Amino acid sequence: MTQTTRITTPFTTPFTTPFNGQSTAAEVMEGIDLRGRRAIVTGGASGIGVETARALAAAGAEVTIAVRDLDAGKRTADDIAATTSGASVVVAPLDLADRASVAAFVAAWEGPLHILVNNAGVMACPETRTPEGWELQFATNHLGHFALATGLRPALAAAGGARVVSVSSSAHLRSPVVFDDIHFNERPYDPWLAYGQSKTANVLFAVEAARRWAGDGIAVNALMPGGIPTGLQRHLEPDYIERRRALGSSTGVTWKNTEQGAATSVLLAASPLVEGVSGCYFEDNQEAEVVESGEGRGVAAYAVDPEAATLLWQVSADLLDL
């Protein structure tokens, strides 16, 4: 199958679907049959990852939850099995900030892979570095998923028409990837700028992977799931969510529950409505418009810049010795 790569520009008409910001993952997946398909959801034991895994499993996919906390993963798998008839969910260890863990996960994978949802992440944490000296949010949110996806590319290609979903955030509007100082070695560390550039990297990955992997029939898209109170906000002040909610529509963020938050992920992972769409950024189940600046809605022009996407790919491959 030949994929059509739609690199978003300010001059293209955004792709639309019948769904919206209040649609749930179950509604998006209604009538979709994934029997015989295999899927991986990173961070599938918490937040929207649970509902992403549940919706894919309910449609018949064999779902692997890739997690750091195996006990939490097993509890999630048991819950999905108990609440979803015929669900097939397995749990595998994966620490995205640990290169050896990612390599072990890739080496252990056998057979084709139809769906990869790069969902796990860390948000606005205190300054922390990996053993390599990399800033933790960039290392986890981008580099770990980059190593995972590129390592699994042969399995994705073998599936024929595979899809990769890169969960980004409207926080990407806070910062481009600062190539001169990605790891905050020279500039003062700012947890939100670090998170923002890691989420921009998630979009740029989709843009470049869509171009590079089109010949393998692999579609790659990024998304903003919406504002969902989950464990992702564990490093934030206790009243952060309440304060953001109080701002209402001025933030441009659609507040959702986890079932609604997983909807755009499963749309891009499995819906026939987006067949052939690749290299794009979605929010509220629609392709987002390109914006020059702002907060909340749209995709930053720098996040879909093909030159920045190519540069990030090379920088990432060099850091990971790929």
> Hey, what long-range contacts does 228-233 have (CB within 8 A, 24 or more apart)?
228/47, 228/48, 228/255, 228/256, 228/257, 228/258, 228/260, 228/261, 230/46, 230/47, 230/48, 230/258, 230/261, 231/46, 231/47, 232/46, 232/47, 232/121, 232/122, 232/123, 233/123
- Active centre residues (catalytic): 195
The answer to whether the beta carbons of residues 52 and 265 sit under 8 Å apart is yes
- Write down the pTM of the prediction: 0.91
- 113, amino acid identity: L
| β-pair partners for 40 | 64, 116
Cα 296 to Cα 161, 241, 300, 320, distances in angstroms: 32, 14, 11, 32
Token pair of 313 as six digits: 């790919």
Of the candidates 161, 172, 122, 167, the residue with the CA atom closest to the CA atom of residue 263: 167
Question: In tens digits, what is the pLDDT along the chain, a chain of 322 residues?
Answer: 334 445 444 446 789 999 999 999 999 999 999 999 999 999 999 999 999 999 999 999 999 999 999 999 999 999 999 999 889 999 999 999 999 999 999 999 999 999 999 999 999 899 999 999 999 999 999 999 999 999 999 999 999 999 999 999 999 999 999 999 999 999 999 999 999 999 999 999 999 999 999 999 999 999 999 887 655 545 445 555 555 545 555 555 667 899 999 999 999 999 999 999 999 999 999 999 999 876 678 999 999 999 999 999 999 999 999 9
By C-alpha distance, which of 213, 205, 196, 221 is closest to 287?
A: 221
